[in-house]
Structure 1
C-alpha cells in the first residue's frame, strides 16, 4: 500500500479527509492522517523497503461507533493491523480517536 492509496480508501469512507490538518475549520466528524515515524530496511547502501508509521485520527463530538467501525472495517479489509487510542480534547470539545498503522510502501 502507498500513502496515496490509503488516502483514497479514507476518502471513500464519506468523511472530510486531510493530510495533517485542514486549511479551514471543519465540523466533526472528520479524519486527518499523518506520517508520525518510519523505518527503512537497508542493504548494500540501498534502501530496499520503506515502512511509514501513520496515525489516522478521527475527530468527533460524541463517541461515534459507526465512524470507528467504518475505519476498522477498511483496515481489516486491507489487512492493516492497528493500535487504538482515544482522548478528549477539552479546548476543542472533541474526541480524537487514533488508529496507528504501518505498512510497506
Structure 2
C-alpha cells in the first residue's frame, strides 16, 4: 500500500482528511471535528547486503473529535483491520484545542 492509497482509504471513511494539517484561511476554514490527519513518522527499513532491502514506513493517523466518540474510533479501527494494517493506539485530551486526539501508529511495507 502506498501513501496515496492510504489517503484514499482514509477519505472513504467520510471525514475530512489532510496530510499533517489543514490549511485554514478566512475563505476556507479548517473543518470542524471529527477529522483525520496523517503523516510520515520515520522509516524502519529492512537492511540486507549493506543496502535498504525493503521499505518500511511508519505513519501516524490522528483522529480528532470534540467529544469521546467510540463509534467513530471503531470506524477507523475497522478500516485499518480491513486493510490488514496492524496498529497501536494512543489517546490524549488537547486542552488548548478542546479536542480528543486518537493516534494510530501503522506501518506501510514496500510502498
Class of the TM-score when normalised by the shorter of the 2 chains: over 0.9
Q: How far is 1:22 from its partner?
A: 0.5
1:7 paired to 2:38: no
1:21 alignment counterpart: 21
Map 1:1-105 → 2, pairs under 5 A: 1-24=1-24, 25-104=30-109, 105=111
Segments of structure 1 that go 5 or more residues without pairing to the other structure are none
Q: 1:40-91 CA deviation, whole Å, 9 max, x = no partner?
A: 2233454221111111000000011121111111111111111000000000
SS at match of 1:100: strand
TM-score, normalised to structure 1, is 0.93
- Supply the distance in 1 between the matched residues of 2:72 and 2:35 (Cα, whole angstroms): 9
Task: Report what 2:27 is aligned to.
Answer: none
User: Gaps spanning 5+ residues in structure 2: where?
Assistant: 25-29
Distance 1:85 1:42 in 2: 29
Across the two proteins, how many residue pairs are aligned to each other? 105
TM-score by length of 2: 0.88
